Amino acid sequence: MPWSRSASGAHGRRASHLALETADIALAGNDLRQVAAVVELSRHTLRVVRQNYTLSIGVNLAGLVASAGGSINPVLAALLHNTSSIAVVANSARLVGHTPHLPSDAAAGLRAAPLEERRVR
């Protein structure tokens, strides 16, 4: 990212109501690996949104040019527009089945050790 933004988060059962309301991310459990899953899901969502914009603008522009040039009937152009809208909704429906990958402890460089042995660098 060319710019950075601070983010706040709340996790666990002990988070206050105010912290949960103002947080950018609220985790139900205490597994901080879920933050990586949320970031992956948000990036995937942005990819799908960009695909939808490209698909919608491309099909509608092609239909507009073809209809204005007389190549296709305006009724067919309207049908093409509705078909592109259905394609955008179908493309967005892929997000429902998307399951983000949770990194394992080994991949994250963590080891299962007692709390007093863990060092913060």
**Residues 48, 92: Cα–Cα separation, whole Å:** 7
Q: What pLDDT digit, counting tens, does each position of 76-99 carry?
A: 888 988 999 999 999 999 888 888
Which of 113 and 33 is assigned the larger pLDDT?
33
Burial label for 28, CB within 10 Å (0-12, 13-18, 19+), is exposed
Alpha helical stretches, state H, the chain: 17-22, 33-68, 74-93
Other beta carbons less than 10 A from residue 63's beta carbon: 21
Mean pLDDT of the chain: 75
The per-residue pLDDT for 85 is 92
> Is the pLDDT confidence value at 115 over 50?
no
| Residue type at position 104 | S
> Is the pLDDT confidence value at 2 over 50?
no
- pTM value > 0.95: no
> Is the pLDDT confidence value at 50 over 60?
yes
Residue 110 contacts residue 93 (beta carbons within 8 Å): no
The per-residue pLDDT for 54 is 95
Looking at the DSSP bridge assignments, the partners of residue 27 are: 11
